Chain A
């Protein structure tokens, strides 16, 4: 049994264990869930340790027949791209457990249900990145919506049921379009090489260009809804406003990366010609996302809404980097996925603490927190700096790589994208100024600073943001081979620098 399967099963075992704990003993439930997520983290660290970055192709491969009638297999394996996203999942899960220790207490259902859903979600996130069988990927891609739906609807705030519904319907619509495409490519494989869902084998098919375009769109729209790209983004702000911080972190930090991950893994690899056809359109959409997200963020009064729109802007950068089709672009985009995960985690967690203390999510209700709660304010400041990609913090490296990678092929797009950075400075600094600086609002005087548990949970995130800002090489070493493989499969080479410049 591959270590990946062990890693998928660990949180599920944890979820089953929780049913052995009495429902009323909330403390023990939280401890068990936390310990299990640490075990998962340890296993993923072992996987990372044993991962060979100089080997191309999938590692930790395991494959069993699942539904033999359709050639469907339980097939898992990872390359650098999947590895970093799995690590992102397993690092963030214990952090959100610790950070949101009391989040589940006032939910619609019991504390136990919350942690069962969270652990099931962790397992499926690992599974979705590890799956190398398109059908298996699809099944997990769809099935993981249910725990998120219940987490938003059951433990969120405000219009949580409506937000959860909107999220689910959008995602399912995208998923069903993808299902049609999955069926389509399966039938083509049946006619050419015998029915299979193996990603590597499907990449060798010869598909006529009309069909290829349709299949590409089926996959791409599903991923664009997930990612989310303008104009498929409208579900995100309402979900982010309603979900608890822990759910938001996993939703925006990890789950939405399935969209951008899928673009690299499936759209580009399986449909290289269609990718070429649609690249101009997608580049345009991503530029719109970058600018639209940034402008909307400037106008936000709700702090969670702000984070949601900055994420739309950042996902624009990621998609731009992917479809620039250069090695810096794709590596940068992959690194961006990781950095954005940690950056959003920091933002949502600190914002969540601020909201819980102040009992309001309006930016204007804060003010002068720097003096009252220095640790919390500094944490928020650093999180904000990572969102505007300050040099020295990890997001700078990835944003730089994306823009450099884009410039070599699409200079105009890169220049337009750069304006997104300026706007980012604007929305982050305005928010920082309004919420942290200025005179202390009278209602803010009694607010307490972060306690030890909260400090312990935010510290590793901030540490990672800074360390990876100065020393991104180990992560890039994992990413680069799989980037090169993707480009090779799609038939692209980096444009050479023009002589004399």
Chain B
């Protein structure tokens, strides 16, 4: 007999509101007049994200693991990560809406007559807003899901819109489409690996739920080889999403090819969702088997830090540089998983927010540096920008210093707390490699700063366009958060501490 499931709608509401906003957006695409679409879509997107945030705050103290039977855990970590995703998405949507980054008509072949006429008609792909909302809903579900099927569904819901959006760049469209295809093909493979791993874990434990897997591990049913295979394949899927070595190859291409606001959105929010899901899987389901996976994750973490930091040094494109920096940060974030203690969870939560804000801010600045043909991302042409526009260049340097972990920026406290957690759990090797890599990474952050401030500007048509209210707001907010969390981190550390719990 089929009994209807008992759903706790109040706790699911934040995700449902975002999904509703997305559906409404699809409706707008179908029915609203062309010139009304863009403002309507922006309004719907911002409102639904804000409403979801308010609803989340209303229920933030409730805890339940049965909100959606046993597929969804509404615990501290869920609340914190969903809130972080919503706030950062709000800023990302503002960037996305700031005109001129998206192609007029995605279906038109680059360079064709079709493209010219669509540009002349002033078309725009406002579908990007509902796509963003779908991605956000997936991101919110991913770190909250407690069974492997829901995890997989969330992974796909968050990924599919991103594949599409990566190909929507207005300029250098071939590069953008190539990036989208790469991202899609590799992403599809990694999803398959994730599913494959899930099947092994099901075979091992007889259940898809994370809690039952944990129980199966603790009762030691034998068949350890299935467990190991399951963990490894599951890890492939997850490591791909955060861009950890050796599954990082897509990152620089996609970061470079995708429209810059999308890159910022992806870099900040996908990382929260994917690291959040990893934390839950490893802390809740697989903690009992740490002897097997901890060495693997430790090695991956160290290699990821090193590859990210070293490869970044030879980059000439700002977006690729930021991509490698994000790879290095994926390595630092993995130390929070290796730590496997409450401090590790707390530090990871803080790190994700600190990193997210600096990332959104940095990509917002990238959208501002232009010449007549659009964004300029060749780093050699950023030379002397500090003279042309000290405020914008100064903000960019602040974000880089935060990435580098210089004291009095949020990045320093983030690094300090995540290394402290790793040290506490006895993983000193990660800490030693972490600080050494930080030194290497600082080299390329400083190189950019030298270019901006210590080199005379060339007579070049590169300018910093006057930022719109929306972009100025994003940059200013990121600057404030980066400094505030560096000088007085207790503001966020205390709530990270309170919310750093997984319900089992």
Contacts and interface: CB of A to CB of B under 8 A. Distances in A.
Interface string B330-355: 00000000000000001000000000
Interface string A164-184: 110011001100110110011
Nearest to B390: A109
Contact of A143 (B406, B442, B488, B489): B406
A183 B450 contact: no
Contact of A165 (B416, B417, B446): B446
Contacts of A138: 407
A142 B406 contact: yes
Interface in B402-440: 406-408, 412-413, 416-417, 419-420, 423-424, 428, 431-432, 435-436, 438-439
Contacts, number: 78
Contacts of B417: 69-70
A177 B435 contact: yes
B493 A183 contact: no
Contacts of B9: none
A381 interface: no
A186 interface: yes
A187 B431 CA distance: 12
A206 B153 CA distance: 52
A108 B420 contact: no
B456 to A, nearest CB: 9
B455 A169 contact: no
Contacts of A139: 407-408, 412
A176 B435 contact: yes
A183 B407 contact: no
A247 to B, nearest CB: 15
Nearest to A136: B407
Contacts of A154: 453-454
Interface in B482-504: 488-490, 493-494, 497
B439 A187 contact: no
A168 B443 CA distance: 10
Contacts of A70: 416-417, 420
Given A70-B417, A179-B416, A183-B416, A161 B450 contact: yes
A146 B439 CA distance: 15
A262 B432 CA distance: 21
B406 A180 contact: no
B348 to A, nearest CB: 14
A67 B439 contact: no
A180 B453 CA distance: 31
Contact of B431 (A142, A169, A183): A183
A136 to B, nearest CB: 10
A69 B408 contact: no
A25 interface: no
Interface in B1-31: none
A68 interface: yes
A180 B431 contact: yes
Interface residues of A, number: 31
Contact of A169 (B419, B428, B442, B488): B442
B494 A68 contact: yes
Nearest to B497: A69
A67 B420 contact: no
A68 B442 contact: no
A302 B406 CA distance: 34
Contacts of B408: 139, 143
A160 B450 CA distance: 11
Contacts of B454: 108, 153-154, 160-161, 164
A190 interface: yes
A146 B406 contact: yes
A172 B490 contact: no
A180 B435 contact: yes
A172 B440 CA distance: 10
Nearest to A181: B435
A341 to B, nearest CB: 25
B383 to A, nearest CB: 12
Contacts of B490: 66-69
A310 to B, nearest CB: 29
Contacts of A160: 454
Contacts of A165: 446, 450
A456 to B, nearest CB: 34
Given A69-B490, A187-B423, A176 B431 contact: no
Contacts of B438: 176
A67 B450 contact: no
Contacts of A69: 346, 417, 489-490, 493-494, 497
Interface string B273-284: 000000000000
Contacts of B424: 187, 190
A119 to B, nearest CB: 16
Interface of B is mostly: helix
A180 B439 CA distance: 12
B420 A187 contact: yes
B407 A67 contact: no
Contacts of B420: 70, 183, 186-187
Nearest to B494: A69
Given A69-B497, A161-B455, A183 B423 contact: yes
Of A66, A161, A172, chain B has the most CB atoms within 10 Å of the CB of: A172
B494 A176 contact: no
Contacts of A67: 413, 489-490, 493
Contact of A173 (B406, B419, B428, B439): B439
A9 to B, nearest CB: 15
A142 B407 CA distance: 6
A180 B419 contact: yes
A209 to B, nearest CB: 16
A184 B424 CA distance: 8
**In this complex, which of A139, A146, A153, A160 has the most chain B Cβ atoms within 10 angstroms of its Cβ?**
A139
Interface in B377-417: 401, 406-408, 412-413, 416-417
Given A67-B493, A70-B417, A187-B424, A143 B432 contact: no
B423 A184 contact: yes
B387 to A, nearest CB: 9
A153 B456 CA distance: 13
Contacts of B443: 169
Contacts of A183: 416, 419-420, 423, 431
B432 A180 contact: yes
Contacts of A161: 450, 454-455
A177 B433 CA distance: 10
B440 to A, nearest CB: 9
B352 to A, nearest CB: 16
A435 B180 CA distance: 69
Nearest to B426: A187
A309 B36 CA distance: 71
A191 B438 CA distance: 27
B190 to A, nearest CB: 33
A190 B407 CA distance: 22
Given A69-B494, A183-B416, A183-B419, A143 B439 contact: no
A187 B421 CA distance: 9
Interface-central residue, B406, B407, B413, B424, by most chain A CB under 10 Å = B407
Contacts of B497: 69
Interface in A101-151: 108, 138-140, 142-143, 146
A160 B488 CA distance: 34
Given A165-B450, A180-B435, A183-B416, A172 B407 contact: no
Given A140-B407, A180-B431, 15 more contacts: A69-B497, A108-B454, A139-B408, A153-B454, A161-B450, A161-B454, A165-B450, A169-B443, A172-B406, A172-B442, A179-B419, A180-B419, A183-B431, A184-B428, A186-B420
Closest 7 CB pairs of A and B: A161-B454, A176-B435, A139-B407, A69-B493, A142-B407, A173-B439, A143-B407
28 contacts: A67-B413, A67-B489, A67-B490, A69-B346, A69-B417, A69-B493, A69-B494, A70-B416, A70-B417, A108-B454, A139-B408, A153-B450, A154-B453, A154-B454, A160-B454, A161-B455, A168-B446, A169-B439, A169-B443, A172-B439, A176-B435, A176-B439, A179-B435, A180-B435, A183-B431, A186-B420, A187-B420, A190-B424
